[in-house]
Structure 1
Amino acid sequence: MSLIPDGLPESHRAIAQEADRIHESAMWSAQGQFEQAKLWRLINLVLGVPAAGLAAVSGGTALAGDVGIWPGVLALGAAALSATLTTVNASRRMTQAQASANAYLQLQTAARQFLTIDLADMNREDARDGLRNLTNTRDELNKTSDPPGRLAYKRSSRNISGGGQTYATDEGE
């Protein structure tokens, strides 16, 4: 759905098209980062909860007395899960994906407001400066954000296609 307003001067059309591309790109990037953050949260829980549970059970089993090798096996399982969790660093990745998603949402809002509110009343030089600022922001975000995985992309596509990025005020248009 294009956000380019009707009646825009022809001198602003290319600027509007590029800002519209930035808006769309930011929408997809934000949703992909949100979905990736959800996946990292799940990985953190899937690895962290069993690791803590195995560690507790192995400690309790070891204190129970003569139970053979089970406390050692459980402790090794807990250690393996903990090592994997530490290596993957899902907690940090989740936080980074969430921060990136919010930054892309901020860019998406700025691009939408530029297109729908500001652009029509700007002279060409100011419009070009506005687009340059949006482009620079997008480029910085792209440099610092980890790309979402295939599953996050599929989930974000489903969310966007299902209307997850539309506002009630836009439905009447």
Structure 2
Amino acid sequence: MTTPPTRFDAREASRWFFRHGHTGWLGLTFADQGDNWVELELPWREDLLGDASRLVLASGPIISLMDMASGMAIWQASGSFNPVATLDLRVDYQRPARERASVRGRVECYRRTRSAAFVRGIAHDGDPDDPVAHVAGVFMTIGADPRESNPALNGGEHG
């Protein structure tokens, strides 16, 4: 039996995150990380097109990429996996991705408070100096499952 790492590691976590659920279906992959940032990749796939006449990734999967990179950047910056909820994620598209190009999303968590985390980043298709989109977001940090402190929310005793 192995002991889990004491500090959140995006590379290790991605091995589990990207095998399941929406991120697994999208095919997200881990690219790189730092103390407060994470870079993920969304591979180009024909079933992720926004318009069949243009061979570029749709905006929805790119938003999902950036949302996941944001959460992972927050966990990387805090050093631990605690649930977060997206309060606001602004995506400013600069241009469409190139045809048949994968998109990378690099997000940094630049500030954390007791109840919020702030992120910014870019999505690009090969040249970070020519981004597909800029993102900025605010996430609510959730310290604990509220059902644990209130049994009535968990189907327990009603008082």
Asked if TM exceeds 0.5, the reply is: no
TM-score computed with the length of structure 2 as normaliser: 0.26
Q: Which has the higher contact order (CA 8 A, sep 6+)?
A: 1
User: Which is strand-richer, 1 or 2?
Assistant: 2
| Structure ID, larger Rg | 1
User: Which is helix-richer, 1 or 2?
Assistant: 1
